[in-house]
Amino acid sequence: MTLAAPRHFLDLKDIDAGTLRHILETAATCKGRRRDHARPLTGKSVALIFEKPSTRTRVSFEVAIRELGGDPVILLGHDMQLGRGETVADTARVLSRYVDGIMMRTDRSAKLHELAQYATVPVINGLTEASHPCQIMADILTFEELRGPIEDQVIAWCGDGNNVARSWIEASARFGFVLRLATPPELAPSAELLAWARSQGARVEVGSDPEAAVADARCVITDTWVSMADTEGENRHNLLAPFRVTERLMAQAAPDAIFMHCLPAHRGEEVTAGVIDGPQSVVFEEAENRLHAQKGILAWALGASD
């Protein structure tokens, strides 16, 4: 008998729009009935591999698995044989015999994809240097709770064309919103990714003028200037200083625009305290929705949600 291929959640571009919408609907249901929703992971275990430090990803996944009835198994990179030279392929094969799913947070997307290649259970991308799809699912859940359907809305990104920005580009092709990115040319997203998105019908605009990007946008997003795997911090600060999200920049957006940031944030760098701590900020709603969005992802990936 041929076993069905596992349902990996690696990148938004790999999953069709209908499935992503179904995951968000499951997430919303879980949030609305947090204390009495179904527990579809009862009797199942999920390994959570952390090769990078984590607050939100670790706590939200661990709590999500427990509230869905499952058991999380925390694996830190320095505690695993993977950190001592064991191959990713061997790790995947072994873990697949112990657990029902694997989440990995790593700074090498190639490692995540190799894990998925050899695993016989679902693999979920908790973050790589190339993408952060779980975050974007939480962000879209947040936007739609507060401002209604995201389709045809204008979303603006200011700052580094990093992993989170890349997942927003993929999301624009799946959810039908207009995405404007303002980045330094040196840190712009790849031409290959933009070409893929546009071939899928995405409306993505890339430039270097933050005010043009945020004009009348319903949501303004940024992220840290220096991520955990980045180097040349001083040079990046110089490049990104003109893209700081300030009260003046937010004033160029729609009157009811919201501000998003995946956290952790550095007030006074990528965003002013007046914005992130102000009335337009929804950063803690986003953080909460990581829990609910990941419930939707886990339920779908582990086969408990059709």
Mind listing the pLDDT tens digit of every residue in the chain (306 residues)?
456 889 999 999 999 999 999 999 999 999 999 989 999 999 999 999 999 889 999 999 999 999 999 999 999 988 888 877 899 999 999 999 999 999 999 999 999 999 999 999 999 999 999 999 999 999 999 999 999 999 999 999 999 999 999 999 999 999 999 999 999 999 999 999 999 999 999 999 999 999 999 999 999 999 999 875 555 667 888 999 999 999 999 999 999 999 999 999 999 999 999 999 999 999 999 999 999 999 999 999 997 555
CB 54 within 8 A of CB 104: no
**Contact at 8 Å (CB) between 127 and 109?**
no
Interhelix angle for 17-32 vs 283-301, to 10°?
A: 110
- Alpha carbon dihedral 162, 296, 154, 285, in 10-degree steps, equals -80
Considering the candidates 105, 218, 236, 244, report the single residue annotated as catalytic. 105
Active site residue 223: yes
Which residue is it, tokens 């993505």? 204
Predicted pLDDT at 232 = 61
The answer to whether 100 and 46 have CB atoms below 8 angstroms apart is yes
> Using only C-alpha atoms, what is the Rg of the chain?
19
Task: Say which DSSP state 4 is in.
Answer: P
CA–CA separation, 107 and 53 (whole Å): 11
Q: How far apart are CA 120 and CA 303, in angstroms?
A: 13
**Three-state secondary-structure class, residue 274:** helix
Q: Which of 58, 262, 280, 294 is catalytic?
A: 262
Q: Given the residues 132, 180, 236, 292, select the one marked as catalytic.
A: 132
Q: Across the beta sheet with 71-76, what order do the strands follow?
A: 71-76, 45-50, 101-105, 123-127
- Is 266 among the residues known to form the active site? no
For residue 123, what is the enclosing H or E element? strand 123-127
Overall pTM > 0.85: yes
Determine the Cα angle at 89 with ends 119 and 62, to 5°.
55
**Contact criterion met (CB below 8 Å) for 30 and 144:** no
Active-site position among 7, 8, 135, 292: 135
C-alpha–C-alpha distance, residues 3 and 121, integer Å? 11
| Spatial distance between the Cα atoms of 15 and 10, rounded to a whole number of angstroms | 9
Cα–Cα distance between 190 and 133 in angstroms, integer?
A: 17
The reported pLDDT for the residue numbered 233 is 65
Is-contact 120 94, C-beta < 8 A?
Answer: no
Catalytic, 105? Answer yes
Residue 262 appears among annotated catalytic residues? yes
Catalytic pick from 7, 8, 290, 292?
Answer: 290
